[in-house]
């Protein structure tokens, strides 16, 4: 079976994990700080906190910004539910900005229209969670300019986008955002099995992220109330969570990060082949202009003449495990119970109805990809 996505682990990765198991602390040792520094070095961000998932990262990013009851957070409906759930965890409400059908990211035009309506009705959001869908960055410079005018914070949901570039710089550096959240799930650019990280250039936000991710507890004497009783002393300053990453995961992450650029080159090679080999089929392809800037977490086609369920089934019968990303967030029963209805975000909905995720991962061979393309040609021609 050819999967839609898959991790790539080599002997160096395995040895890094074994070294921690045999010789180091399994948690709260040296590997997590080393991984955080490596992520800062790669992205250009000043601060980084590693956490146990991208979802945890989104949650603490919202908490660090002080998002709570009565606040509104906007995000894209074309994403995994965590992009919106993070605001609800904090007691805020959520609204969505529809996507641009060509980029599949949040539409800047529709964002500006919604922003003007919100200004008039005094319902401006406190924060925007901008999703870099499939690894291609949103138009961050324009979004940031508008958000600054209205004092709206920006969280980049960069779960798909480690290894991508925007304006010639790595995504995750937070040049046009307050915080960025990364994911290291097995099908992402690199993996720590499960895991995530939050980057920022703001020292106050970095401090808050660290507190919320680690029980709200500090050993930093400068943050404590009163004097420490001794070197063992710590204080809980806020109600935090246990979102720590283990040193085992961080060791794997350090080893994987050393190969990230190699991974991205391979993904772009496979995407270039898809763009060439599928151009004559009745499908809508992702933007070729993103070839050398996206991290290509996913490669998605849109069927223009064929019924998706039938194509999906036929591919699975040929041992090609295609997938679909994503069911629009507002389609889920929980979000329907909050008042959202189908038809509210037509661009995201139309994309979902026709989308199909093809296999794309580092160890996918040209021969396996040729097989996928051949079967698609048989089905769609």
CB 73 within 8 A of CB 127: yes
Query: In the structure encoding, which two tokens stand for residue 220, read together?
Result: 């930093």
Residues 169 and 39 in one domain: yes
Residues 78 and 142 in one domain: yes
Residues 251 and 298 grouped into a single domain: no
Residue among 88, 133, 84 nearest 107 (CA): 133
What CA–CA distance (Å, rounded) separates 80 from 19? 35
* 163 and 268 together in one domain: no
The 3-state DSSP class for residue 108 equals helix
- Other beta carbons less than 10 A from residue 241's beta carbon: 18
Number of domains in the chain: 2
Same domain, 167 and 194: yes
> pLDDT class for 128, splitting at 50, 70, 90?
very high
Q: CA 110 to CA 345: how far, in whole Å?
A: 11
Q: What is the pLDDT of residue 374?
A: 98
Question: Residue 138: which pLDDT band, with cuts at 50, 70 and 90?
Answer: very high
Pairing, β 320-321 against β 2-3: parallel
Which residue has tokens 């490669």? 299
Average pLDDT rounded to a whole number, residues 147-176: 98
Asked if residue 188 and residue 327 are part of one domain, the reply reads no
Whether residues 159 and 76 share a domain: the answer is yes
C-alpha pair distances (Å), 344 with each of 10, 30, 35, 99, 331 = 45, 48, 41, 12, 10
Handedness of CA 69, 152, 200, 111 (dihedral sign): positive
Helix-strand-coil split of the chain, %, nearest 5: 40, 15, 40
Whether residue 294 sits in one domain with residue 222 = no
If pLDDT is split at 50, 70 and 90, which confidence band does 239 have?
Answer: very high
pTM assigned to the model: 0.98
Q: If pLDDT is split at 50, 70 and 90, which confidence band does 221 have?
A: very high
Q: Is 2 buried (19+), middle (13-18) or exposed (0-12) by CB count in 10 A?
A: buried
CATH number, domain at 188?
3.40.640.10
CA 256 vs CA 30, 32, 307, 361: distances in Å: 17, 14, 39, 14
Asked if residue 144 lies in contact with residue 150, where contact means CB atoms within 8 angstroms, the answer is: no
Residue at which a domain ends, from 204, 232, 257: 257
Q: Are residues 233 and 340 in the same domain?
A: no
3-state class of 57 per DSSP?
A: helix
Q: Please, which pLDDT band fits residue 19 given cuts at 50, 70 and 90? A: very high
Kindly report, residue by residue over 355-371, the tens digit of the pLDDT. Answer: 999 999 999 999 999 99
Determine the angle formed by the axes of helices 54-64 and 203-213, rounding to 10 degrees. Answer: 120
Q: Tokens at residue 73, please?
A: 């957070």
Q: What are the phi and psi torsion angles at 170 (to 5°)?
A: -65, 135
My answer on whether 209 and 64 are in the same domain is yes
Domain's final residue, options 218, 239, 257: 257
Q: What is the mean pLDDT of the chain?
A: 98
- Give me the helix-helix angle, 82-89 and 54-64, nearest 10°: 40
E strand residue ranges, 113-254: 127-131, 153-157, 165-166, 169-170, 179-183, 196-200, 217-218, 235-236
- Comparing CA positions, the residue from 235, 220, 159, 179 lying closest to residue 67 is 179
Q: Which of 257, 278, 304 is the last residue of a domain?
A: 257
Helix axes 260-277, 366-380, angle to 10 degrees: 30
Confidence of residue 297 (pLDDT cuts 50, 70, 90): very high
pLDDT tens digits, residue range 262-276? 999 999 999 999 999
Residues 327 and 211 in one domain: no
Q: CB–CB of 106/125 below 8 Å?
A: no
pLDDT at 300: 98
Considering the domain architecture, whether residues 320 and 345 belong to the same structural domain is answered as yes
171-207 pLDDT tens trace: 999 999 999 999 999 999 999 999 999 999 999 999 9
> What DSSP assignment string belongs to 246-289?
PHHHHHHHHHHHTTHHHHHHHHHHHHHHHHHHTTTSSEEPPPGG
Q: Which residue has the tokens 């500006």?
A: 112
Look up the domain containing 370 and give its range. Answer: 260-380
Could you tell me the sign of the dihedral formed by the alpha carbons of 119, 125, 128, 129, in that order? negative
């Amino acid at each position: 079976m050819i999967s839609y996505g898959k991790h790539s682990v080599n002997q160096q990765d395995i040895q890094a994990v074994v070294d921690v198991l045999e010789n180091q602390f399994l948690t709260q040792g040296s590997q997590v700080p080393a991984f955080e520094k490596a992520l800062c070095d790669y992205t250009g961000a000043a601060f980084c906190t590693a956490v146990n998932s991208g979802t945890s990262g989104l949650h603490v990013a919202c908490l660090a910004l002080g998002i709570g009851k009565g606040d509104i957070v906007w995000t894209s409906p074309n994403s995994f539910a965590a992009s919106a759930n993070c605001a609800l965890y904090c007691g805020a409400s959520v609204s969505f900005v529809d996507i641009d059908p060509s980029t599949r990211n949040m539409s800047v035009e529709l964002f500006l229209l919604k922003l003007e309506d919100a200004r008039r009705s005094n319902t401006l959001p406190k924060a925007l969670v901008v999703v870099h869908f499939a690894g291609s960055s949103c138009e961050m410079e324009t979004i940031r300019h508008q958000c600054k005018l209205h004092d709206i914070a920006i969280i980049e949901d960069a779960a798909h986008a480690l290894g991508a570039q925007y304006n010639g710089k790595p995504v995750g550096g937070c040049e046009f955002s307050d915080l960025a959240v990364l994911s290291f799930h097995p099908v992402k650019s690199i993996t720590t099995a499960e895991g995530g990280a939050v980057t920022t250039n703001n020292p106050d936000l970095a401090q808050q992220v660290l507190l919320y991710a680690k029980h709200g507890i500090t050993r930093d004497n400068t943050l404590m109330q009163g004097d420490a009783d001794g070197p063992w002393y710590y204080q809980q300053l806020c109600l935090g969570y246990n979102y720590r990453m283990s040193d085992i995961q961080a060791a794997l992450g350090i080893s994987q990060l050393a190969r990230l650029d190699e991974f991205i080159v391979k993904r772009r090679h496979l995407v270039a082949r898809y763009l060439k080999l599928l151009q004559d089929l009745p499908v809508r392809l992702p933007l070729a202009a993103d070839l050398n800037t996206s991290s290509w977490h996913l490669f998605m086609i849109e069927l223009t003449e064929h019924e998706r369920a039938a194509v999906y089934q036929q591919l699975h019968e040929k041992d090609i495990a295609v997938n679909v990303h994503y069911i629009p967030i507002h389609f889920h029963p929980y979000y329907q119970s909050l008042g959202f209805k189908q038809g509210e975000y037509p661009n995201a909905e139309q994309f979902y109805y026709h989308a199909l995720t093809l296999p794309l991962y580092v160890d996918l061979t040209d021969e396996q990809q040729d097989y996928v393309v051949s079967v698609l040609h048989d089905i769609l021609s």
